[in-house]
Amino acid sequence: MDRLFLQQVLATALRRGGTFAEVFVEDRENTSLSLRDGSIEDAARGRVCGAGVRVFDGLRCIYCYTAGTDRAQLLACAERAAAAVTDTRSGALDVVLGERIPANLHPIAQLPASVHSARKAQKAREIYHAAKSYSPEITQAIVSYSDSDQRVTIANSEGLLVRDRRVYTRVRVSAVASNGTENQSGTRAPGAMMGFELFDQRVDPEQIGREAAKTAVTMLHAPACPAGIMPVVIDGGFGGVIFHEACGHSLEATSVSRDMSEFCGKLGRQIAAPCVTAIDDGTLPGEWGSTNIDDEGMPTNRLVLIENGILKNYMIDRLGGLRMGMAPTGSGRRQSYAFAPTSRMRNTYIAAGTDDEAEMIATMGDGLYARRMGGGSVNPATGEFNFAVEEGYLVRGGRIDSPVRGASLIGRGGEVLMKIDRVGREMTMEQGMCGSISGSVPVNVGQPMIRVSSITVGGK
C-alpha cells in the first residue's frame, strides 16, 4: 500500500463528511499444529489479507472491512463507509500522509517461516512425552504449537502513516490424569512476541510438560475444598488473571466511557490497598502482550493504572478518549482487520512489593493457597467475579497442609483490591488470549504472590 493510494482511500472515506478517517491493512501468515496421543492430528498453514476503513461521525463510529487488499475493493470499502456518514460538510478534505518509522523494541532472531515444520512438530513431541512419562495416571496429553507473522499498515486523516511487524510463537499442553472414575487436568501455555528462539531463551519443552502433568496428578488425589470466607494467598504468574478480569476490564475506556464501570469518576481516589501498584505495559521486550505501536498507530508505552492504591489512569483508545474528553494512551487493539479497535490491556500486572512470601503464609492462620488459577467470569459494571482455582492447597495454622480441588474465588474487584494486605517481591507473568468487542488479542497477566485478608471461597 503506497502513500498516494492510502491518501486516496482516506479522502474517499471522508468525501461526505466525518471528523476522522483511518485505514488498517493487514497481511498475516499463520502456522498451527496439534498433537494427540503422540501423533500429529492437525497441521495447517494459512495467510490472511484484508483491510478495514473507519470513519468517525461525531461520537459515532462507522467501520467497513474487506477480505483481500485489492485496490478496487478497498476503495469500494471506503465508499461504503462514506455513505453511512450523516455529519455532512462542504468541500473535499486534503489528506497528506507523512510516514513515521517506529522503534523496533522486539527484534526477532529466527523467523518461524524459516524453520522446517518437522522441528516445530519435534518440540510438540518433546512436551507430549514429558507429560505422558510423568505418571502412569496421565492418560492423555494434548499439545498444540502456533506461530504468526503479522504485517500492518495504519494511516489516518491526521497525516499518520506507520507500519509494523508482529511475530508470535506459542505452545500449549493439557495433561489429563485419571483413576478410572474421574479426571483432572493441568495446563501450561507459554508464548512470546518472539520467533523460534522462544525455545532457546524462554521455554523448556520437557519442563512445561512435567508441570502440566504434575498439576493434573496432584488434583486427582486431592479432596474437595471446603467453602467459606477465609484469607487466600494467590501465587504469581497466572494469578494475575483476577486483576486482569475483575479490575483491568473495568479500567478500559470500553467500559468507562459508557459509564459501565465500578471505577467511573474515581481518578485520583483510593481504589486499592496502599501496597498495590498496577501497571499496563506494552514496551516489555519480547513479551506476549507487547507491540511497537497499537492498532491505531500510537507508540506503545508503560501506563501506571494504580499507584500505591490511588487510581492514576484508564486505558483509552481514540474513540473512547473522545467520549471521555481524555487523550488516548496507546491502548487501541484489535484481533484483525475485521474488527474496529477499542481499548484493551497488553501486559497487565500488579507490581512487585516488599513482603516476604513465606511470612504471608506463616501468618495467615487457616485459609487457602491458590497456587494456580483457572478461568472465570466477571461483570465489568459491578466488578463481580467467579474464578476457578486450578491447583489449590489448604493452609492450617500457617502451614501448607494438603491439596484441595474444586475451589473457586468469588467477590468484587473493588473489594478485593482493598483487602490485599501483602504483596511479594518477585513478579512473574503468564500468557493468555483476551476477548472483547474488538476480538481476541494476546495479553500477559502477572503479579507477585499476594494475600487477600478475606474472600469467599466456593467449594464443597
Q: What is the mean pLDDT of each run of 10 residues along the chain (460 residues)?
A: 95 94 98 94 96 96 95 96 84 82 95 96 97 97 98 97 98 97 96 98 97 98 97 96 92 95 96 98 97 97 98 98 97 98 98 97 98 86 90 97 96 94 97 96 98 95
**What is the bridge-based pairing of β-strands 439-447 and 347-350?**
parallel
| Residue 68 CB neighbour total at 10 angstroms | 11
CA–CA–CA angle 113, 282, 52 (5° rounding): 65
198-199-203-205 Cα dihedral, nearest 10 degrees = 150
Segments of 210-265 assigned E as strands = 228-234
Counts for the chain of helices (H) and strands (E), in that order: 10, 23
Residue 317 and residue 330: Cα distance in Å, rounded? 7
179-180-182-186 Cα dihedral, nearest 10 degrees = 50
Percent of the chain clearing pLDDT 90 (strictly above)? 94
Q: Give Cβ neighbours of residue 334 (< 8 Å, ≥ 6 apart).
A: 24, 295, 340, 341, 342, 438, 439, 441
CA distances from 390 to 222, 352, 373 (A): 12, 23, 5
| pLDDT score, position 92 | 55
Closest CA to 162 of 300, 50, 14, 342: 300
Sign of the alpha-carbon dihedral angle for 310, 316, 322, 328: positive
Closest CA to 211 of 231, 244, 235: 235
The C-alpha cell of 132 is what? 505422558
| 216, containing H or E segment | helix 205-220
Q: Are 302 and 283 in contact (CB under 8 A)?
A: yes
Q: Are 56 and 81 in contact (CB under 8 A)?
A: no
314-317-319-325 Cα dihedral, nearest 10 degrees = 40
CA distances from 436 to 65, 249, 383 (A): 18, 9, 16
Q: Are 114 and 32 in contact (CB under 8 A)?
A: no
| Residue 425 CB neighbour total at 10 angstroms | 12
Partners of residue 166 on adjacent β-strands = 150
Q: Where are the domains of the chain?
A: 3-220, 228-458
Residue 196 and residue 315: Cα distance in Å, rounded? 31
The C-alpha cell of 119 is what? 522441528
What would the DSSP string read from start to end of 76-100? HHHHHHHHT--S--SS------EEE
CA distances from 168 to 129, 255, 311 (A): 24, 28, 32
**What is the bridge-based pairing of β-strands 420-423 and 399-404?**
unpaired
Q: Are 414 and 425 in contact (CB under 8 A)?
A: no
| pLDDT score, position 270 | 98
Residue 303 and residue 402: Cα distance in Å, rounded? 39
| pTM confidence score | 0.95
| pLDDT score, position 448 | 98
Options 3.40.50.10280, 3.20.20.70, 3.30.2290.10, 3.30.930.10; CATH of 3-220:
3.30.2290.10
3-class secondary-structure state, position 336: coil
CA–CA–CA angle 431, 371, 237 (5° rounding): 25
